[in-house]
Structure 1
Amino acid sequence: MKFNTLILILILGLFTSNLFSQKYELGKVTIEELKESRHPIDSSASAAILFKKGDTKFELNNEGEWTLVTEVKYKFKIYKKEGFDYANQQVYYYVGGTKEETLHFRDAVTYNLVDGKIQKTKLKSDGEFKEEVNKSTKVKKITMPQVKEGSIIEYSYTLRSPYITNFNDWYFQKEIPINYVEYNVYIPEYFKYRTIVTGYEKVNVENLGISTGSFAQEKYTYKIDNVPALKEEGFITNIDNYTSILKCELVSISYPREPIRNIAVGWDDVVKSIYDNESFGSELKSKSYFDDDLKIIINNLTTNEEKIAAIFKFVQNRMSWNEKYGVYADEGVRRAYKQKTGNVAEINLILVAMLKEAGIDASPILLSTRKNGIALFPNRSAFNYVVAGVEVLDDVILLDATNKNVAIDMLPLRAVNWSGRIMRERGSSSEIDLLNVPVSKDNIIVLGEIDSEGNISGKLRRQLTDYNSFLHRENYGSVSEDSYIEKLENRYKGIEIEEYKVDNVKDLEKPIVELYSFKETNVVETIGDKMYISPLLFFTLEENPFKVDTRKYPIDFQFPIKDTYNISLKIPEGYEVEYMPTALNVSMENNYGAFKYIISHKGNSLQLVVNLDINAFYIPSDAYPALKNFFKMMVEKQAEKVILKKK
């Protein structure tokens, strides 16, 4: 074992030494690199980045205008067919301001080994595409030619931006391993930036003063080698929240013989700049397009609660979301209302405007979706979503009309992400807690009977509340009853379902209630004169979802849950209970979770009550061993059998 460990250390040492001895330049492809059939550290990798290198510099023109110039060079290695997707690359750039960014790809080449010689295939013009994402964003894409297993792909691009307040985020990690990353940032002496490196990998930082050129600069170099691939661990909504990324924001400008100009903004400044944009604040003031409809909607309604419900339902039913995000209206609320479709901002700004016109104290709320990540400091790109909020006493009622299945005071799960920012017309703003949601319940009641052959028949009632009911409507609301019953029967290992009925699918303010009869043939095993019964029936958790020994990232359960099972089983005549599992009552530290298992029998009846509570959205990674053990105890307890014996 010690010898094997020593060999591994030597291999890693040689690999690392080789990394630092290399010159990371494009066009320097070797036959040895092309022959390499698997990554030396991660043999499972379908591809790897041999190096990623970037430089960000400032240019000053004769008019005193700065341009931020970023050049990025990539060298990929393709090991398997599954890695062919890395032949397709894309870069987004901003075109929505008074000045536009520009982006140019260069040096795009695919290398292959053919008959022992290096074959070089350059990217042609028909392999490069430009698309408009929205009014403010475009994307350039390239599709590399002649990509095969063993290919090496190289390319570079240059992004020129007139906006120096924020750099593009620099990623040190991807879903494939990266052998070497280097990023050099040259900051003129006049500028001060705030920087932060997120994630779990250690990035080395060096800085050096440079006095050449027309102004002094500070050079910051960020380096890391042997970066492991980002591995999805399950129970994660956005891996970017835990990825090693460099973020930069301009704090101040200090020119000679001029006072210091503070650039860094607070959240109130961010909110004000968004509100003052004509594609936001001005859209809220427009109301003539809905006046006639609003009069009909609120006619004869007297309370604010009635008006809120009626207006929300109207906008929710009328408008269809085009699946575009953003805090600004793309086409404008008037056109969106007429066409009955729009982006997030258009739909929910219409909702806010209608509520305000009806005398409701409504305001837009800015937030960042789960996939957009968490803002680490105030900046204008922190938000990508808008919802409506109605302030009532010390509470805020949340409304999002982009989704057909959310109730009043509920956001779709994509928008439940830590906190938002409510924007009041008077100019103030404040933070809104988006995680303050009720516990979502799954209540199951079963009345069943075991026959002499070990088959179970009975009736089941299931009630789903809050996000459990939301997910049911999202996943099955448009599915036919026959198709849904088939899915249920497959999920529960071949049970037979009859007399199915479901209530409140369309009534979003009420829980989903399912009722059906069932026949089950797989949870009782008969051996000789004994029956071995899984008392939790087809709801038994058979394996631990947490299998790895260690975990880097927090565990995201999406929302707090409370699952309750109340199962009553009548045992067949001529049998008696020989053995029953013991009760179990276990809780995690910090009240993260609790599990209770109580089973009893009286006469010819078994009674099982099981409760599972997960009380937190997120459980930190240092609690992972306890969480894994918590689920291990649950699985073991649920695997225990009730034993019946013939009298």
Structure 2
Amino acid sequence: MKKFILIISVFTALSSIAQKRELGEVTLDELSQKFCPADTSAPAAVLFSLGKTYFEYSENEGFRIITEIQTKIKIYKKEGYEYANAVERIYTGGGTSEEKVSFSKAVTYNLIDGKIEKTKLNSSGEFREEVNKYWALKKITMPNVREGSIIEYKVMISSPYIHNFPEWVFQKSIPVLYSEYTTVIPEYFTYSKHFRGYHSPIISKDYRERSVYNTSNSSSSGGFRFREETSKYVVENIAALKEEIFTSNINNYRTTLVHELSTTQYPNSQIKRYSTDWETVAKEIYVSSNFGDELKKTGYFEKDVDGLLQGISDPEERMVILFSFVRNRMNWNEFYGVFCKDGVKKAYAEKKGNVAELNLMLVSMLRYAGLNANPVIISTRNNGIPLFPSQTSFNYVIAAVKFQDNIYLMDATSKYSMPNILPTRDLNWQGRIIQSDGTNQSINLVPSFLSKSATTLMAKIDKTGVIEGKVREMYFDYEAFDYRTRYGNASIESQMERLEKRHSGIEVSDFSVQNNLEISKPIVESYSFKDNHSVELIGGKLHISPLLFKTLSENPFKQDEREYPVDFIYPHQDKTTISLTIPEGYVVEVLPEGKAFTMPENIAGFKYMIQSADNQIQIILTLDINQAIIGSENYEFLRSLFNEFVKKNTEKIILKKV
């Protein structure tokens, strides 16, 4: 009963705040509130967010999309100060028509000596940042923000791009007490609506007739009438979406409403259909002059390719040679996109281009060499999982070569990638491979094979508990790719510092790394160490952490429940083999038991083996993550696996004197 009363009290408190949904209406109760009733740990909370998207018409421009947003936020802690800033993206059109963004009614409220103090945003707190040729940011930083402040502002966005319908994000990284979004869409436009996330809004609809008059003629004959559909979406009391370990892109799971333009039909005109399925989207991309036409160009590289492949008849060898040539010769300018910007010919001459120019160039060379090569359009991890058919769902292109039943995926943007070892940004759900005849099909981007790391540690323990030894670590496939990406250009000194910082309490010497630049071979990292923290001397006995500084002492999965999948990026196996020499005059008194734990359907598991003989202790610990993505329905099993894994990591070997 007490729990029920508490819940009623919380929602009553939330409701009392949420009812005041007008900018400028700030109360003493709101300002004096010390914490968010729904989440006492929250640094801030959105009291309300009201949005409305509608269309305006002018003779010169036709229809524009207008979006108005009113936001009111309560700041509870210093950690919440960042929520007193606001950012809106502006599509500049690459020099053509630009979107317009303006802020207004931006005020910070504070409670000072029992009175409400208002501080308005001035021009110094508002600025614009150019991102690139196509995008800019409009930002505001609210003034006089402190613990207890309430900030509010209004933003208006005007866009000539009817396909660029704004996303409405109901769920934030802080609690949202009330979020309301209204759309008013003329009958000339049909948008497909898609929701993601775990909260369902309350939806209401209405219809009305609207008249628009040309400014040059205000009579009825100078205008037109049309029907509009009004839709209102409301979600209340939304918990903060908190980032958890091993999450691909948190926005995949954030409660959001997305509109995608499906058709347009103006008066006395034929209906125009836009992307309705994945096959159509892929075909539209392929026939574009900045995509398909670029694939047909070969003259700029033919002489070089002929020289490279002279005397080489094996198809797979030809593939590797051409891939290595493009990867090593070309440099990625870090621009994404499925379309070429300056074209493959110019990119080849300048040895630099965007992702489409590099990888379409590679596909073209592979085809010229007689291989069954095709482009694959994908959405990168930071772009999210595509929810619906749209050209904007894809932001990247890679290459594929098919040999009978085998498909090799390649991305020439990374100096450390290999066939079927893609940059991890590419490993996101599925892409679409587009054949030369224009047909296309989905292709899985997530690796199915295990990428392995193997650690061999040999060490000797002295009577004072100090351990000295050597470590040899080998990294294969994606593990090697990750290593090279992170540390490929690191100095020996920085590598040693990294290890000492990661494994607190050890001293590292004699560090070396092999095959750092020979990317077809595994990375081999070796070093000597001195460990002063893995043995405790208690009552004349030595208590040893069997895995020494490699011990995992905490379960990374701390939440009792998880709504979204665990994403390990790729399947992997970590194997550690340890050989310990115990000091003379000591014997093993306590030795942990072996253990094996396997999740259902062999999704993941570990094996822990330990034995002693004479003055030697041997430990072998293997952790297998056999699926890159583990669904939330298996989270409890995964958490249990790591609980058991940590237990075995933290059990002690005890040595006593003879």
TM over 0.5: yes
d(CA) in 1 for partners of 2:96, 2:281: 20
Which of 191, 195, 198 is the matching residue for 2:193? 195
Amino acid at match of 2:288: N
Match of 2:529 among 518, 521, 525: 518
* Residue aligning to 2:71: 74
**Residues of 2 paired with 1:575 and 1:148: CA distance?**
61
The Cα of 1:142 is off from its aligned counterpart by: 3.2
Distance in 2, matches of 1:335 and 1:29, equals: 58
| 1:368 aligned partner, one-letter code | S
Contact 2:18 2:177 in 1 (8 A): no
Contact 1:99/1:162, CA 8 A, preserved across alignment = no
Match in the other structure for 2:206: 208
Matched, 1:392 2:403: yes
Please report how far the alpha carbon of residue 223 of structure 1 lies from its aligned counterpart in structure 2 after TM superposition: 0.5
Which residue is 2:83 aligned to?
A: 86
CA distance in 2, matches of 1:353, 1:287: 7
Q: Secondary structure at the match of 1:371?
A: helix
Verify: 1:52 aligned to 2:49, yes or no.
yes
Where does residue 28 of structure 1 map in the other structure? 25
8 A contact 1:176–1:230 mirrored in 2:
yes
CA distance in 2, matches of 1:495, 1:79: 41
Give me the whole-angstrom Cα distance separating, in 1, the residues matched to 2:100 and 2:454: 55
Distance apart, 1:160 and its partner CA: 3.3
**Alignment-derived partner of residue 538 in structure 2:** 527
Counterpart residue number, 2:568:
557
Corresponding residue for residue 172 of structure 2 = 174
Counterpart AA for 2:607: K
Deviation at 1:384, TM superposition (A): 1.0
Shift of 1:101: 5.3
Quick check: 1:304 aligned with 2:315?
yes
Task: Calculate the TM-score normalised by the size of structure 1.
Answer: 0.91
Q: 2:466 aligns with which of 447, 452, 455?
A: 455
Deviation at 1:32, TM superposition (A): 4.1
User: How far apart are 1:18 and its partner, in Å?
Assistant: 1.8
The answer to whether the 8 A contact 2:398-2:409 is kept is yes
- What CA distance in whole angstroms lies between the structure 1 residues aligned with 2:369 and 2:231? 55
Shift of 1:512: 0.8
Q: Which residue does 1:426 correspond to in 2?
A: 437
Distance 2:581 2:625 in 1: 31
Question: Do the aligned residues in 2 keep the contact of 1:110 with 1:151 (CA within 8 Å)?
Answer: no
Question: CA 1:483–1:254 in 2, change beyond 3 Å: closer, same or farther?
Answer: closer
Aligned partner of 2:238 in structure 1 is 227
Secondary structure of the 1:215 match is: strand
Give the C-alpha shift of residue 596 in structure 1: 1.0
Which whole-Å CA distance do the structure 1 matches of 2:74 and 2:299 have between them? Answer: 58
Rounded Cα–Cα distance in structure 1 between residues aligned with 2:330 and 2:567: 31
CA distance change for structure 1 residues 161 and 370 in 2, over 3 Å: closer, same or farther? same
Alpha carbons of structure 1 residues 257 and 524: separation in structure 2 relative to 1, 3 Å? same
* Aligned partner (choices 467, 472, 491) of residue 483 of structure 2: 472
Which secondary structure does the structure 1 equivalent of 2:447 belong to? coil
Q: CA deviation at 1:367?
A: 0.6
Q: 1:493 to 1:304 in 2, by over 3 A?
A: same
CA RMSD of aligned residues (A): 2.9
Distance, in Å, in 2 between the alignment partners of 1:79 and 1:342 is 47
2:263 paired with 1:265 = no
Deviates more, 1:30-39 or 1:466-475: 30-39
Structure 1, 188-197 or 467-476: larger mean CA deviation? 188-197
2: CA distance, partners of 1:426 / 1:231: 45
State whether structure 2 residue 334 is matched by structure 1 residue 323. yes
The residue number in structure 1 matching 2:39 is 42
The aligned counterpart of 2:215 is none
Structure 1 residues 339 and 140, CA gap change in structure 2 (3 angstroms): farther
Contact 2:275 2:281 in 1 (8 A): no
| Residue aligning to 1:618 | 629
Shift of 1:602: 2.8
Match of 2:391, SS? coil
Q: Which runs of 5+ in 2 are unaligned?
A: 212-224
Secondary structure at the aligned position of 2:392 is classed as: coil
State the distance in 2 between where 1:48 and 1:192 align.
Answer: 34
Q: Structure 1: where are the runs of 5+ without partners?
A: none
- Determine helix, strand or coil for the equivalent of 1:168: coil
Which of 137, 151, 170 is the matching residue for 1:139? Answer: 137
What is the CA–CA distance in structure 1 between the aligned matches of 2:165 and 2:538, rounded to whole Å? 69
TM alignment of 1:341-352, pairs within 5 A = 341-352=352-363
SS in 1 for 2:633: helix
Are the aligned partners of 2:421 and 2:481 in contact in 1 as well (CA < 8 Å)?
no
Figure out how many residues of one structure are paired with residues of the other and give that number.
644
The 3-state SS of whatever aligns with 1:421 is strand
Note the alpha carbon deviations across 1:114-149, whole angstroms, 9 max, x for none. 666555454455544444444443433334444444
The Cα offsets for residues 590-615 of structure 1, whole Å up to 9 and x where unpaired, read as 32211111212233322222211111
Contact 1:204–1:222 (8 Å) recurs in 2? yes
Q: Percent identity?
A: 45
CA distance in 1 between partners of 2:53 and 2:622 (Å): 56
CA 1:530–1:183 in structure 2 vs 1: closer, same or farther (change >3 Å)?
A: same
CA 1:51 to 1:484, structure 2 compared with 1: closer, same or farther past 3 Å? Answer: same
Residues 1:575 and 2:586 are matched in the alignment: yes
Q: Does 1:380 align with 2:391?
A: yes
The structural deviation recorded for 1:90 is 2.3
Q: 1:184–1:219: 8 Å Cα contact kept in structure 2?
A: yes
Q: Distance in 2 between matches of 1:48 and 1:574?
A: 63
Query: 2:216: which partner in 1?
Result: none
Inter-partner Cα distance in structure 1 for 2:356 and 2:265:
37
2:109 paired with 1:109: no
8 Å Cα contact 2:475-2:524 kept in structure 1: yes
**Which one is further off, 239-248 or 282-291?**
282-291
For the structure 1 residues 452 and 97, does the alpha-carbon distance in structure 2 shift closer, same or farther, using more than 3 Å as the test? closer
Map 1:144-159 onto structure 2 (within 5 A): 144-159=142-157
Instruction: Find the aligned partners of 1:331 and 1:69 in 2 and give their Cα distance.
Output: 33
Distance in structure 1 (CA, Å) of the matches to 2:501 and 2:61 = 68
**1:578, distance to aligned residue in structure 2 (A):** 2.7
Q: Would the alpha carbon gap of residues 36 and 532 (structure 1) be closer, same or farther in structure 2, given more than 3 Å must change?
A: closer
Output the CA distance in 2 between the equivalents of 1:399 and 1:465: 17
The amino acid of 1:169's aligned partner reads E
**Residues 91 and 139 of structure 1 are in contact (CA less than 8 Å); yes or no, is this contact kept in structure 2?**
yes
- Which deviates more, 555-564 or 453-462? 453-462
Assess if the C-alpha contact under 8 Å between 1:93 and 1:138 holds in 2: yes
TM-score normalized with structure 2 length: 0.89
Quote the offset at 1:511 in angstroms. Answer: 0.9
Query: Quick one: which of 12, 15, 38 aligns to 2:13?
Result: 15
Task: Output the CA distance in 2 between the equivalents of 1:297 and 1:153.
Answer: 64
- 1:503–1:387 CA distance, 2 compared to 1 (3 A): same
Offset, 1:464: 1.0
Tell me the CA shift for residue 79 of structure 1: 3.4
C-alpha contact (below 8 Å) 2:18/2:48 kept by paired residues = no
Q: Of residues 375, 379, 383 in structure 2, which corresponds to 1:364? A: 375
Call closer, same or farther: CA 1:641–1:227 in 2, change over 3 Å.
same
Compared with structure 1, are the counterparts of its residues 387 and 434 closer, same or farther at alpha carbon in structure 2 (3 Å cutoff)?
A: same
Counterpart selection for 2:260 from 240, 243, 249: 249
